[in-house]
Structure 1
Amino acid sequence: MSTYVDGFVIPIPKTKVNAYKKMAKMGAKTWMKHGALAYYECVADDIKAPYSINFPTMTKAKKNETVIFAFIVFKSKAHRNKVNAKVHKEFGEMPGAENFAMPFDVSKMAFGGFKTLAQG
């Protein structure tokens, strides 16, 4: 069975990484509770790219920013749509949800759903 993946690339101020980590842990718990197969939120570490463009260049990250690479794995696109609907409903019902501010500039985030070509 081929899985489906939601992928994210996010430039984020280095001073906001701890706030992001707290949010990511809550996200992991919630997505997994609602059926995601895997959930990863990763911060840039070894991003030298001598043979290709690097993530900071690709995202136009500023000197005070680093890059988050994240992905969530689902059974299928339909499964992803069901899980995400449950997650967004739960987040929307949380106290203070209407005033929640992301620890990064959402307009700089890249997001998309991907069909899996190969997995091991």
Structure 2
Amino acid sequence: MSYIDGFVIAVPSGNKTRFSEHATKGDSVFIDLGAVRVVECWGDDVPDGKMTDFRKAVQATEDETVVFSWIEWPDKATRDAAHAKMSEWMQNPEKADPRMDPQKNPMPFDGKRLIMGGFSPLVELGKKGD
């Protein structure tokens, strides 16, 4: 069964194009490392909640848009191998894939407010997307 890495990020709304370019370049690394697909979703209908919500979770300001993203891996072993490779690159930046180089592909958002986690699907209904 597949394995999912999920992300929620606050991105300055004026950086939508920069974010798209950054994601296209960086996400291609995940595909090369075995991901089945990567989906980046620009917030369109993200309501404020009474107790909690996506905006509060990432401390989004008025001039930021919430981005919800996920990486679908064929299995947890492939995901773990990809994470190990990226961790290795962090230890040896000279060996890192240049698409992941923050000098060449800077993050157009505050990475300290990124929320991420790995998830095992529990229920899957419908057809697989292309």
Between the aligned partners of 1:81 and 1:34, the Cα distance in structure 2 is: 10
Q: What is the one-letter code of the residue matched to 1:3?
A: S
Q: Hey, what does 2:101 align to over in structure 1? A: 97
Contact 2:43 2:65 in 1 (8 A): yes
Q: Hey, what does 2:111 align to over in structure 1? A: 106
Q: Hey, what does 2:79 align to over in structure 1? A: 80
Q: Hey, what does 1:42 align to over in structure 2? A: 41
Say if 2:61 is the partner of 1:62.
yes
Q: 1:24 to 1:95 in 2, by over 3 A?
A: closer
Q: How many residues are matched?
A: 119
Q: Hey, what does 1:23 align to over in structure 2? A: 22
Q: Hey, what does 2:9 align to over in structure 1? A: 10
RMSD between aligned residues? 2.8
Q: Give identity over the alignment, percent.
A: 29
Q: Which runs of 5+ in 2 are unaligned?
A: 126-130
Contact 1:12 1:65 in 2 (8 A): yes
Q: What is the one-letter code of the residue matched to 1:37?
A: V
Between the aligned partners of 2:99 and 2:38, the Cα distance in structure 1 is: 24
Between the aligned partners of 1:75 and 1:99, the Cα distance in structure 2 is: 30
TM-score by length of 1: 0.81
1:33 to partner: Cα distance: 2.7
